[in-house]
Amino acid sequence: MKLSALRTVAAATIVASLAVPAFAQGKPGQLGEDRTLIAADSWPIKITYFESTGGKEAPVVILLPAAEGENSMTRKVWNSMAASLNKRGYAVVTADLRKHGDSADPNDRRGGRLSPNDYALMASLDMEAIKTFLVEEHQKQKLNIRKLGIAAAGSSCMVASAFTVLDWSKKPWPDAPVFDLRTPKGQDVRALLMLSPKSNVKGINSTDVMKFIADPYKGIAVQIYYDKSDRAEKSSAEKLYGFLELKTRGGQTEPKPSDEEGTDQSVGIDFSDARQLRDRPAGKEFAAEGLLAAKDASGKIPMEQYAAEFFDKYVNGRSDTWKTRTSKLE
């Protein structure tokens, strides 16, 4: 599905979401609180929410397990990472996207096999339901949605990336003469952490998506972990990273956006290390979510520290203060 088609679905999502409840609250889980969100097409999306005690300036991270159909893990694989980030003051959501984990259809006799449009629906409907819930928490001053990061594994990396494009395509309300004073509708995703990403995902044009994210003036940090000894994984990771390397046009850097397009979001971002391709330990056991359980000699999980450092710098370290999402034009 091309970006124009994704944007069309997203627009329909925003309209349809007005007719459905944002979420149904479940019983508190042992780690975080389990909740059920309702996507615009009525598909129930199961999440676990780790509320921050940091108040309205708390940063936010969404954690997504690989969406690989019947071979997928559930959102619980992120529990340790979620708890670690939550202790550092982050609000955290772990999620099972449609047809995966607790969000699978119990009546599906196909065993979780995906249709060609499912990944596009995950990006445009499932992720939008999660974002809607987080905006509600933002309005309650429990977090700052302007400081949003996403970590994902496998095919979910492209789902997260496609959602980032949709989120950044939402221009602010035209309720002020100066762009920086306008009420935001989106443009909140600041950083993407990818574990063993897959570049070929049905329904998502990875080339268009990554070229959009690569725009240096959007200031979106990306860190990719891959196994260089795995030919397929190496090919996917290097393909995606190739789009992220800073480009020039005719010897000149890309033109800065006009006031109508937005301000330069890269201010204060050091692109010398904001876009990284990092080698992970070799071996199938360390692929994708395997990194979330890999311990060093001291018994610690290095990936938790790597993620914390990445999000601390490129999400929590941003100067974007809390700002209402209610426009006087609504």
- Is residue 216 assigned to a domain? yes
Nearest 5°: phi and psi at 191? -155, 140
- Is residue 330 assigned to a domain? no
pLDDT at 276: 87
Question: For residue 149, which of 87, 63, 262, 247 has the smallest C-alpha distance?
Answer: 63
**Tens of pLDDT, residues 220-274:** 999 999 888 888 989 999 999 999 875 544 444 454 554 445 555 655 556 567 8
What average pLDDT does the segment 97-122 reach? 83
Structure tokens that stand for 61 in this block = 């991270």
Q: How far is CA 317 from each of CA 131, 215, 304, 314, 325, rounded to the nearest angstrom?
A: 21, 20, 18, 6, 21
Look at 232 and 151; give whichever has higher pLDDT: 151
For the chain, the domain total comes to 1
Q: Which domain holds residue 217?
A: 3-316
- Is residue 126 assigned to a domain? yes
Question: For residue 6, which of 146, 230, 158 has the smallest C-alpha distance?
Answer: 158
Q: Half-sphere exposure (CA, 13 Å, Cβ side) for 235?
A: 4
Look at 84 and 179; give whichever has higher pLDDT: 84
Structure tokens that stand for 92 in this block = 């955290």
Q: Which amino acid is at 168?
A: W
pLDDT at 259: 45
In the structure, what pLDDT confidence band is assigned to residue 71 with cuts at 50, 70 and 90? low
pLDDT at 167: 97
- Is residue 300 assigned to a domain? yes
pLDDT at 241: 94
- Is residue 176 assigned to a domain? yes
pTM of the model: 0.86
What CATH number corresponds to the domain at position 146?
Answer: 3.40.50.1820
- Is residue 329 assigned to a domain? no
- Is residue 324 assigned to a domain? no
Structure tokens that stand for 143 in this block = 């977090």
- Is residue 327 assigned to a domain? no
**Tens of pLDDT, residues 17-65:** 333 333 344 343 347 999 999 999 999 999 999 999 999 999 999 999 9
